[in-house]
Amino acid sequence: MRKLENKVAVVTGGAMGNGLGICRVFLKYGAKLIILDYSDELEGSIGILNEEFPDADILGYKVDIRNKDIVKEAIDNAYNAFGKIDVLVNNAGVCRLETFQEMTDEIRDFHFDINIKGSWNVTKAVLPYLKNNDKSSIVNLSSVTGPMVADSGEVAYATTKAALLGFSKALAVELVSDNIRSNAILPGYILTPMVENMSKLSDPENPTAVIDGIAQAIPMKRLGTIEELGELAAFLASDESSYITGHEFVIDGGSTLPETMTMGV
């Protein structure tokens, strides 16, 4: 039996990037999917997933997770379709680089409203259904940025990702009596559209050189894949991690290990 067989999972931001990798791996292990995403890529991504997994059960809702009423309506409809929800993956997130001095309140609130409040809204909507089960799992996508490291221009993003780690830990304590586990994933550099866009902003003439430069600073000398992140999410969503809650799991190819980039023998 596959480790997510008969489990129903909600994945936010599942149309592209890390979310798409999570969806692909969840389907591989037998999960039924409810994808929430505001991107126009949603329909096309579901089509691709259906081609890869012809027997898959996938529902997609184009939802702005900042709107708690629309989120609740989508989750209620999905629950009525599948009859249960076992797993929530709060993956949807945004990142716009700007120095603290130059950052507008609008850009700050864009990060806070999606990365923090959006995850809050979806969790609120899904939680009553998670409590119906003998065991359920919440997986929150934080980042190494914020809890562990940061670069210039990342103040809003880092703040929200650190907040998500606290959110995940607090939920773990509060929900343990309901047999709901809550854990966080802290990705380093994964090759996603977000990373590609940031590379284009850094060097519009040669964004590939930016990605190559990032890779050289990682001990494994490469960026991670969305499927590798999906495998970690699937482990935390499955019963294989049944005695794990309230923890953070770094997946970064060792990028946060070096004490410096120049010292060494």
Q: Which are the catalytic amino acids?
A: 157
Helix, strand, coil: what percent of the chain each, to 5? 45, 15, 40
3-state secondary structure of 234: helix
Q: How far is 56 from 28, CA to CA, in rounded Å?
A: 9
Q: Are 139 and 233 in contact (CB under 8 A)?
A: yes
Chain-centroid distance of CA 242 in Å reads: 20
The torsion angles phi and psi of 149, rounded to 5 degrees, stand at -140, 170
In contact, 234 and 240? CB cutoff 8 Å = no
Q: Say which residues have a Cβ less than 8 Å from residue 247's Cβ, sequence separation at least 6.
A: 183, 184
Closest by alpha carbon to 159, among 116, 219, 214? 116
Beta strands across the sheet bearing 87-90: 58-62, 32-37, 8-12, 87-90, 136-141, 180-187, 248-251
